[in-house]
Copies of this chain bind each other. A is one copy, B any other.
């Protein structure tokens, strides 16, 4: 049995879903991988709960869900005021788990790598802007730097590209990587206009209050950038062309449907060229996804066409990717 020390950054919906998977599947991980996780710290924006001997995640979840923030916890544990950069340096952990939305997280990722810690992240901007630095630093130090949940949640497209088709040269990929836009476009197919479809998505919690990341294509663009880095060479989000769905009219969307086609926000990834834009796809195509499904069609020299399709959003679906990476990192560190 190996005991591995985890330091968890971010305790919003995804962070708590990760904690719940770590709790509920503890016996499974112990039996299948002979791994036991000791969570030595949990941080939200209010503070860092830090207990070197490990904490009871049930209690941390209860506090967060009762009071809304970890700093309200005044009983058993100390709550520290540390920046993430201070925290990754001070807290003795084997693996840093970043499930925040911190756009500047690359700074503390690099600091953690330099201190010899492995990293698992679902946070996209660090990779979309600093892939070469981060992956380079991790490779130099032979440390895990894993990011399955950044693209298609737990659907393992990153593993597939990194470990599954090593002999193939990738020629291109087309993918639907954002579920919120799929939902909005589906509503528009049923007759709603864009504004009303967006409001429906927000009411159901599918779109965020500030929906720009999804509808302007930024989220899909981050993901497409990461796929390009993996398949070809490192680029940044600034190098790609992104057009969202805000200008799509319900007339266009319905007319596509009448022609047996459907409009989806498609990421097209070729060597040195990434385009994210609404495109018509045939209804029989793997890209004609519905609901929270994502799909990618990967074209290679040896295999021809390879399709992977699965959940691209959702809390336990995202936790699936994060915890799969935690296990992979734990088997390595």
Contact of A286 with B by CB under 8 A:
yes
A302-B21, A302-B320, A310-B305 given as contacts; is B156 within 8 A of A165 (CB)? Answer: yes
Q: Which residues of B contact A304 (CB under 8 A)?
A: 310-311, 317
Asked if residues A311 and B303 are in contact (CB atoms below 8 Å), the reply is yes
Given the complex of chains A and B, what is the CA–CA distance between A323 and B300 in angstroms?
Answer: 14
Asked if residues A328 and B25 are in contact (CB atoms below 8 Å), the reply is no
A309-B307, A310-B307 given as contacts; is B154 within 8 A of A302 (CB)? Answer: yes
Query: Which of the listed residues A304, A317, A321 has the most CB atoms from chain B within 10 Å of its own CB?
Result: A304
Which of B163, B286, B303, B307 has a CB less than 8 Å from the CB of A320? B303
Contact of A240 with B by CB under 8 A:
no
Contact of A109 with B by CB under 8 A:
no
Q: Which residue of B lies closest to A298 (CB)?
A: B310
Given the complex of chains A and B, what is the CA–CA distance between A87 and B57 in angstroms?
Answer: 55
Asked if residues B167 and A323 are in contact (CB atoms below 8 Å), the reply is yes
A159-B164, A163-B163, A164-B159 given as contacts; is B316 within 8 A of A302 (CB)? Answer: yes
Given the complex of chains A and B, what is the CA–CA distance between A324 and B166 in angstroms?
Answer: 5
Query: Which of the listed residues A166, A286, A310, A322 has the most CB atoms from chain B within 10 Å of its own CB?
Result: A166
Q: Which residue of B lies closest to A168 (CB)?
A: B320
Cβ of A122 to closest chain B Cβ, rounded Å: 13
Asked if residues A319 and B167 are in contact (CB atoms below 8 Å), the reply is yes
A307-B309, A310-B306, A319-B302 given as contacts; is B324 within 8 A of A164 (CB)? Answer: yes
Given the complex of chains A and B, what is the CA–CA distance between A319 and B304 in angstroms?
Answer: 13
Contact of A160 with B by CB under 8 A:
yes
Residues of A at the B interface (CB closer than 8 Å) are 21, 25, 28-29, 33, 148, 153-156, 159-160, 163-169, 286, 300, 302-311, 316-317, 319-324, 326-328
